[in-house]
Amino acid sequence: MRADLTRTRQVLFNLLSNACKFTEDGTITVTVRAAADWIAFEVADTGIGMTESQQARLFQAFAQAEASTTRKYGGTGLGL
């Protein structure tokens, strides 16, 4: 695998931190699959989830979570 180790580590840390923050009681599953040319990391949890409108904004630059979510769970809402 060729990758920026620091960035890969940070992305996985952010995904797992979010899963932990928003899963008060439940499970978090991390799956890693390798193929010939790529590696897939999957994080699944039983946390509060996201609405469709939140999912649509997920990878837009500087999009923030709703204020009520950041007040309740802390952080800036910019983790991903």
Backbone angle region of 26, left / alpha / beta, with phi > 0 → left and psi within -120 to 50 → alpha: left
Mean pLDDT of the chain: 81
pLDDT band at 72 (very low <50, low <70, confident <90, very high): low
The radius of gyration computed from the CA coordinates of the chain, to the nearest angstrom, equals 14
| Per-residue pLDDT at 79 exceeds 60 | no
pLDDT at 29 over 90: yes
